[in-house]
């Protein structure tokens, strides 16, 4: 099989690429398992309060968790930016800068976390004011928020820790930390809610404690890996290098804008769904759950690409960069085809497991075809996102995301009027295609400028 990844086509079956195939798979499977543990923990959060007599508990947990998951995505630049910068330092053998990048990331986490904690009351009252929830749900949601906000800085630390570990290609260590986080959260959920009867506050306390413990363990692990001295300031001139601080700020700002644009598209998608009635909204929500599982599977290869492509880019090795993109793209396409078959053959059965409401199941079945084709359309932007993050080419990521977002809104304006919900899904798929095309075609221009090993 030949895959064009720049200046020429590369056969992914070349004998010399076999070690790279093994490396990609070894880096990918821990990330996929870690990703799949996230919805499991969320499901347990919902399940434990779902067995309590007051239905307001479910809405409160969902609303409170939504606030922090939105925040998580907005500050995900702490993970992505750290991964890209560290991976490039690994490629250029600049070990001092690896440590400096990690410390800078922690510094940004402290500043953002401090601001969120100081202004927690203002932020909480403002955010929940926008939701049209009952007074009871809002009260419980504020209880959840008021407890979990105290671990927000540790949540940010966890992002930086994951960024370092991904950049150093220590995915198995990252997996263990994620299993610690989500496993502890599940156990404490059961103890606090079903055992102690703390309801919503128990769910929040379980998450807060899990995030704090995982962050402390992660920081200890990272200090051991990097060999940071706790007695003497570690190369303060390197850490506070003005040029490096500016570079990190630009990378983080571009990733945040890119992520915000993506969130706007997804929020718009759900807003359009809600305007089509409760059944369409519920059907699309079910299909988006399947879409998220697709993303979890393909993101494993994107994370591998971040670390490997970043190292190759830092080493200015064009041939290695081209081979990495070819091999990760090959495996991404293979997994994408598996998702296509799974959703084609068993999609209706999976939908029936998610919801027992016949109207919603029929609605989801009607639009299931979009989930069948989505893997092959989404594999390109997912994979190239990882490549660009590794190379810290975040300006292009930001610009192409903005272009794709504008195309989505223009297309959706016409297609939703002509084809209703099918038109909405068509607009979302075109959004993904534009992202993949722009990132893929521009990568050719980037690759030819990378020095040859």
Residues 58-105: pLDDT tens digits?
A: 777 777 887 888 888 889 999 999 999 999 999 999 988 999 999 999
Residue 235: band (very low, low, confident or very high) from pLDDT cuts 50, 70, 90: low
> 5 with 322: CB under 8 angstroms?
yes
Within 8 A by CB and 6+ apart from 302, the residues are 328, 332, 382, 383, 385, 386
Structure tokens at 122: 């203002």
Is residue 345 within 8 A of residue 268, CB to CB? The reply is no
Flag whether pLDDT at 215 surpasses 80: yes
Q: How far is CA 139 from CA 127, 149, 189, 330, in A?
A: 13, 15, 20, 50
pLDDT of residue 162: 96
pLDDT digit string (tens) for 315-346? 999 999 999 999 999 999 999 999 999 999 99
- What's the predicted TM-score (pTM) here? 0.88
226-240, 312-326, 342-356, 437-451: which has the minimum mean pLDDT?
226-240
Could you give the CA distance from residue 167 to residue 88 in angstroms, rounded to a whole number?
8
d(CA 395, CA 410) in angstroms, rounded, equals: 23
> Which of 171, 439, 105, 444 has the alpha carbon at shortest distance from 303?
171
Confidence of residue 292 (pLDDT cuts 50, 70, 90): confident
From the number of C-beta atoms within 10 Å of its C-beta (0-12, 13-18, 19+), residue 209 rates as middle
Please state, in angstroms and rounded to a whole number, the distance separating the CA atoms of residues 322 and 153: 38
Cα–Cα distance, 345 to 339 (Å, whole number): 10
Instruction: Specify the pLDDT at position 145.
Output: 92
23 contacts 30 by C-beta, under 8 angstroms: no
Check if the beta carbon of residue 300 is closer than 8 Å to that of residue 31: yes
Q: 44-53, 265-274, 405-414: which range is least confident on average?
A: 44-53
Instruction: Answer yes or no: is pLDDT of 148 > 80.
Output: yes
- 231 pLDDT band, cuts 50/70/90, is very low
Question: What local confidence, expressed as pLDDT, does residue 4 receive?
Answer: 52
Specify the pLDDT at position 453. 46
- The residue among 312, 324, 256, 291 whose CA lies nearest residue 429 is 291
User: Does residue 38 register a pLDDT over 80?
Assistant: no
The 3-state DSSP class for residue 9 equals strand
Task: Name the residue among 316, 319, 322 with its Cα closest to residue 451.
Answer: 316
**Would you state the pLDDT for residue 333?**
96
Q: How far apart are CA 97 and CA 89, in angstroms?
A: 6
Contact 144, 204 (CB under 8 A): yes
Cα angle value 177/106/227 (rounded, 5°): 70
Within 8 A by CB and 6+ apart from 152, the residues are: 68, 71, 113, 116, 117
Q: Looking at the chain, how many residues does it have?
A: 453
Residue % of the chain over a pLDDT of 70:
92
pLDDT cut 90: percent of the chain above it: 63
- The arithmetic mean of pLDDT across residues 136-145, rounded, is 87
DSSP assignment, residue 150? G
**CA-CA distance, 97 to 90, in Å (whole number)?**
9
| 12-34 pLDDT, tens digit each | 777 788 899 999 999 999 988 88
Confidence of residue 181 (pLDDT cuts 50, 70, 90): very high
Beta bridge partners of 9: 4
b/e code 318-333 from CB counts within 10 Å (16+ = b): bebbbbbbbbbbbbbb
* Nearest of 443, 452, 156, 136 to residue 312 by alpha carbon: 452
The more confidently predicted of residues 184 and 230 is: 184
Domain boundaries, the chain: 1-32+252-453, 52-240
């Amino acid at each position: 099989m030949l895959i064009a990844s720049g200046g020429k086509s590369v056969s992914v079956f070349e004998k010399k690429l076999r070690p790279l195939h093994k490396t990609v798979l070894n880096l990918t499977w821990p990330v996929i398992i870690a990703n799949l543990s996230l919805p499991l923990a969320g499901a347990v959060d919902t399940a434990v309060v779902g067995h309590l007599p007051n239905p307001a508990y479910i809405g409160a947990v969902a609303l409170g968790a939504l606030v922090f998951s939105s925040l998580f995505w907005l500050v995900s630049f702490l993970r992505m930016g750290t991964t890209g910068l560290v991976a490039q330092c690994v490629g250029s053998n600049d070990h001092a800068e690896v440590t400096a990048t990690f410390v800078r990331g922690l510094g940004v986490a402290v500043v953002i976390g401090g601001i969120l904690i100081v202004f927690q009351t203002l932020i909480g009252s403002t955010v929940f004011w926008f939701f049209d929830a009952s007074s009871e749900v809002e009260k419980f949601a504020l209880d959840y928020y008021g407890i979990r906000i105290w671990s927000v800085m540790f949540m940010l630390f966890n992002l930086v820790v994951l960024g370092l570990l991904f950049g150093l290609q220590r995915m198995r260590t990252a997996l263990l930390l994620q299993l610690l986080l989500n496993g502890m959260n599940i156990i404490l959920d059961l103890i606090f809610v079903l055992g102690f009867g703390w309801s919503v506050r128990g769910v929040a306390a379980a998450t807060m404690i899990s995030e704090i413990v995982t962050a402390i363990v992660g920081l200890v692990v990272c200090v051991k890996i990097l060999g940071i001295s706790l007695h003497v300031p570690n190369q303060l001139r390197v850490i506070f290098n003005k040029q490096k601080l500016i570079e990190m700020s630009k990378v983080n700002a571009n990733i945040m804008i890119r992520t915000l644009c993506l969130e706007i598209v997804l929020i718009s998608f759900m807003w359009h769904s809600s305007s089509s009635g409760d059944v369409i909204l519920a059907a699309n929500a079910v299909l988006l759950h399947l879409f998220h599982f697709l993303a979890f599977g393909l993101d494993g290869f994107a994370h591998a690409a971040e670390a490997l492509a970043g190292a190759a880019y830092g080493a200015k090795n064009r041939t290695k960069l081209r081979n990495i993109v070819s091999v990760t793209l090959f495996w991404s396409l293979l997994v994408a085809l598996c998702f296509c078959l799974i959703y084609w053959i068993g999609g209706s059965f999976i939908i029936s497991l998610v919801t027992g409401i016949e109207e919603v199941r029929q609605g989801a079945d009607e639009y299931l075809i979009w989930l069948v084709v989505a893997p092959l359309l989404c594999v390109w932007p997912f994979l190239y996102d990882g490549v660009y993050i590794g190379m810290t080419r975040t300006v292009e990521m930001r610009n192409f995301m903005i272009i794709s977002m504008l195309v989505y809104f223009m297309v959706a304006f016409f297609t939703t009027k002509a084809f209703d919900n099918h038109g909405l899904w068509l607009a979302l798929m075109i959004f993904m295609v534009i992202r993949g095309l722009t990132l893929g075609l521009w990568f050719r221009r980037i690759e030819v400028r990378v020095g040859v090993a």
